[in-house]
Amino acid sequence: MSIAASSRRTLAPAITILFLAAPAARFAAGQVTGAPPAPGNADGAQPAPAEIPEVQMAQLPFAGQGPPVTLTLKDALERARQNDATYLSAVSDARLAHEDRVQARAGLLPAVSTTTQELLTKGGSILETGRFVTNDGVHVYRAWGVLHQDLSPNLFTLNGYRRASAAEAQAQARSEIAARGLVVAVTQAYYGLLVAQRKYGTAQQARDQAQQFHKTSQDLEKGGQAAHADVIKAEIELDQQQQALEDARLAMEDARLNLAVLLSPTLNENFTAVDDLDQAPLLPSFSEMRDMAAHSNADLKAAIEALRVARADVSAARQSFMPTLAIDANYGIEANEFALRGEVSGATPDERRLQQNNLGEFVTFNLQFPVFDWGNLRSKLHQSEYRREQAQVELTSAQRKLVQDLYSSYNEAQVASAAVDRLRHSAELASESLRLTVLRYRAGEATALEVVDAQNTLAQTRNAYDDGQARYRVALAQLQTLTGSF
């Protein structure tokens, strides 16, 4: 399911309200010509705002006021990056992975902290130190500066930091995958709108030609130069072209909605897309595409970094079998009063006149050996090895898929590029054929059926030419998902 289709279903209620509240906003100046009347009552009158139940105007999606904004494909891509939830989620994951790497690097360095405590115990016992043997007085004060360092295999091998770096690179590659996928979606919607607008113009021209032919057939009938059957055929053709014009208008409005869903969080349709279908870039050579894919393919990068993460997990699982040493160096006071110098606890009255320096330090070493854990560590090692094997399989699969997609996408772009030239030539021939057929009909050398056939052929070839140009642009966007921008 495409992004545009999914978003459109979600915003369907909002679109309904938008049509009820502001039916003319979707037909802003310069966007649509020949638009049908806005929905209203049976007599054509517009419904009053009070007829919209339980809806505040401030809650309606902004449909656009003032002059339309002119957008190029680059502008559309920039706006889509600010609103697409899938792309923004991938960017957020990359940012989180970056912070994980920063934290992993910080975990390798000694940590310095401070702690201040006041230990109070109940007095009134035989001993002045109180009732708890862990204290040397009723009041004990601690103010320590603590330096903590873990000496583990992870510190010496930098395995945790390397895993975090690989995870960050993998998240960035996935962010690039989402960005390139968004480019394809926006390109399809953008050029879908341009093609729909061109087809609407072609339908208008075809309707005008049908009207002119209908008038010509009537004039020739009055002069006795054409049969009434020609008038009937011309009128049927006019009705069909009028219906085709309505269908083209509806398709154009749908295409505008599809693009607006991608570009604006408020479904703002007040924009004009720059028509650059005739300015398509040239297709590079396959050797250039192959080199770019080898160095810039985001899927391949993500698979490589996933394998690096899996290998780091295996190393971490193996290191968990080794001993770890934690060192805590403390400096500060632990005394019966919060002071740099104080009385000696439990001293005689004469000794209490003497004071001692309360500042001191001590170091704690904590050496931990894993002995027995019911197979927990070994099970984790097996899990990490299974994930590494799967990551290796996915990497080889990504390499094969890249080669397949590169050949397929490049062939599609080549065929689309060649088709554009042929379709352009066919449209030019169809235009000349219609001109000559009309002249022959006026001279009595062609039938009405030939004129109608020439008109339909011209409309079909022009639409096919527009579709061919959009096909080539989308093929280039698909190719760039494999190779990066060119």
pLDDT in tens, 284-340: 999 999 999 999 999 999 999 999 999 999 999 999 999 999 999 999 988 877 888
So what's the pLDDT on residue 58? 36
Which tokens in the block code for residue 285? 């050579």
Contacting residues for 287 by C-beta, under 8 A, at least 6 apart: none
So what's the pLDDT on residue 126? 55
**What does the pLDDT average to over 267-272?**
90
**What confidence category does residue 26 fall into, taking pLDDT thresholds of 50, 70 and 90?**
very low
So what's the pLDDT on residue 441? 93
Are 210 and 237 contacting, i.e. CB atoms less than 8 angstroms apart?
yes
So what's the pLDDT on residue 124? 58
So what's the pLDDT on residue 36? 36
27-84, pLDDT tens digit by residue?
333 333 333 333 333 333 344 433 433 433 334 444 446 788 999 999 999 999 999 9
So what's the pLDDT on residue 38? 38
Q: How far is CA 254 from CA 71, 190, 350, 457, in A?
A: 18, 12, 98, 25
144-203, pLDDT tens digit by residue?
899 999 999 888 999 999 999 999 999 999 999 999 999 999 999 999 999 999 999 999
The better pLDDT of the pair 64, 474 is held by: 474
- Does the global pTM surpass 0.85? no
363-408, pLDDT tens digit by residue?
999 999 999 999 999 999 999 999 999 999 999 999 999 999 999 9
Q: What is the mean pLDDT of the chain?
A: 84
So what's the pLDDT on residue 118? 83
Is the model's pLDDT at 421 over the cut of 70?
Answer: yes
82-130, pLDDT tens digit by residue?
999 999 999 999 999 999 999 999 999 999 999 898 877 766 555 555 5
**Residues 115, 454: Cα–Cα separation, whole Å:** 91
Is the model's pLDDT at 235 over the cut of 50?
Answer: yes
